A and B are shown apart, each in its own frame.
Chain A
Amino acid sequence: MTPADRLDGRDGDGGTPAPGTSPQEGGHPPPALAPAPPALEHDVLRSLLGAWALAACSPQETAAVEEHLGGCGPCAQEALRLRDAVGLLHPPESLDLDPGLRTRVLESALQRRPARVPVPEWAAPYDTETARLDALLQDFGDAEWHAPVRLRWFDAGTTAGLRTTVAGVIAHLLAVDGLVGIALGLGDPLAQVLGDAAPGVAPPAERTEAYWRAARRPPTRAVRGPWREQSHAVVRTVSFTGGSSDALPVSYGGVELPLRDALLDRAFECWVHAEDIADAVDYPYDPPAGRHLHHLIDLAARMLPRVLAARRRAGLAAPPATARHLVAAGGPGRSLRLEIEGSGGGEWLIPLDSPGAVGSAEHEVAHVALDGVEFCRLAAGHVPPEEAAAGQLGDREAIRDVLYATASLSRM
């Protein structure tokens, strides 16, 4: 009998015999020779061998087994074998896989055999960040899943917050990633929970709250599977639709982003919330790799002109200094130079007066320098604009407007 045969029998039950232990071979001592009355039968003693090998019997049982082993060859043989096996039990190997290993392994493989269906470059940060978060969740027990997490964002000039749990954060990511899923025709994960009451395409906070409310109990670790399945399905689907789909509009219920930007946005949110979770359970968590971070910063920088305009309309940002700064679409406009330091950094010229204008070095009125991770924390609403550690030069009002606009990119 090969080990495989024996293992294959595992789904049956106690019927799987180990070699040399079948009752026929086991050989009951003839009743006449048995000490009278036998304290424990051979069958019972044999059934105790596992517990005996693990030192999990009572002292009386242990003594009875050991006495029996002296006179029963097959049991003695099995006892030896099982005791050896105990020596093979080890605590599980180190659990923390280097999170950077995934990227290195995938890159080596793709160098050796280029993909015929690659993951689009703009989807790579989402692929990597969801994998990193999933690896963080890997060994969480119930205590971690229910650890309190405070979500923070910048709203109406101040930091807003909301308490949930680690599982609640994953439910939030599932609900909002679902907007990308809907746009790709993958179906709405909320529809499975909420049926017709699912909010469909709606702002992220609305979808999240609908989902949280609908569940009779707070979310549990069971939310991990659907979240991960959806993120895998998104990467799989955009790989097939490839470059042609990057402009596909994804509606956030009011705001619309092209698919490539929506996936950068989701990668950003995934990282930010992974950090929230890591903080809550006191684990270390690194920022994304430089080249992915660069994409995320670039998305924020590209969104700033629109946010500035919206804030100006709402009376929250200064109007253009003089009429001459009202520029024609596509023309150069008054600009702020955003210099991002560190891995993933770079320079961006942010047109200040109109989303239609083009950033221009000639019309630079201010210069802000920030570390990349600090900039992202500002954009996530985790650092108030007045506290962002930024080097500043030039028009103070422009700088203030841009820092506040960056913070108001954040949402729940």
Chain B
Amino acid sequence: MPTRDAPPRWDHRMQQRLARGEAAALGELYDRFASLVHGLAHRVLGDEDAADRVTRDVFVHVWEHPETYDPEQQPLRSWIAGLTHRIAVQRLRATETAALAVTGSGGTEELERRVRRASVAARADYIVHSMPAPLRAALERAYFQRRDYRRTAADLGVTEDEARRRLRLGLQLLATAHDTGTPGAPPGNGGAA
């Protein structure tokens, strides 16, 4: 179950506590974001151990450089998602490049395709995770539970018009996962949380 966005005050306070070197703050940060970080990393890398390592690298980075987060710019959640995305894509590129070097033949295009695909998939996960709950609920009913939109409307207790609107808007948001040109950019450019 995705947690609701925390008030910015929490983000602010968390950054101060991390900067002050409070180990308990690091634990709380992990408790709040580990499953997000691990899930995104796993989507990019498709490997449990690699996702564990990215999770470690992300929290080590935040702990060592809490000052690089600016609460005025964006919510902590989307900043951490962006950081995770960058680190995971870096790792994917490094391991794929190493694999290429072993197998010889220039497959850099294929590599870039894979990196792009993984990036888009991770961004899409993040968008689904952070979109308003009513939109997510409509998509879940229509897609995972195979309900038609009339049934979706009835399940959610909204009009059929509203169900159609939610499905369309939800997919429009999701489609923005394709939009960022550079594969290494953070999900939704940080505005999505």
Contact = CB atoms under 8 A, between A and B. Distances in A.
Given A88-B177, A93-B125, A106-B30, A82 B188 contact: no
Interface in A1-31: 2-8, 10-11, 13-14, 16, 18
A57 B171 contact: no
Main secondary structure of the interface of B (DSSP, over half): helix
Contacts of B28: 232, 236
A117 B31 contact: no
B65 to A, nearest CB: 9
A8 B150 CA distance: 28
Interface string A42-67: 00000111110110111000000000
Contacts of A56: 142, 147-149, 152, 167
A115 B128 contact: no
Contacts of B81: none
Given A106-B30, A236-B24, A3 B60 contact: no
B131 A108 contact: no
Nearest to B131: A10
Contacts of A235: 24, 27
Contacts of A315: none
A165 B131 CA distance: 33
B43 A81 contact: no
Interface in B20-44: 20-28, 30-31, 34-35, 38-39, 42-43
B163 interface: yes
Interface residues of A, number: 64
Interface string B54-83: 011001100110000000000000000000
B168 A49 contact: yes
A131 B144 CA distance: 31
A156 interface: no
Interface size on B, as a range, is: 35 or more
Main secondary structure of the interface of A (DSSP, over half): helix
A216 interface: no
A88 B165 contact: no
B176 to A, nearest CB: 4
Contacts of A81: 172, 175
Interface in A72-117: 81-82, 84-86, 88-95, 97-98, 101-102, 104-106, 108-110, 112-117
Interface of B: 1, 20-28, 30-31, 34-35, 38-39, 42-43, 48, 52, 55-56, 59-60, 63-64, 120-121, 124-125, 127-128, 131-132, 135, 139, 142-144, 147-150, 152, 161, 163-180, 188-192
15 contacts: A16-B169, A16-B172, A50-B164, A50-B165, A82-B171, A85-B171, A91-B144, A92-B39, A97-B38, A106-B23, A106-B30, A117-B20, A119-B23, A131-B31, A138-B1
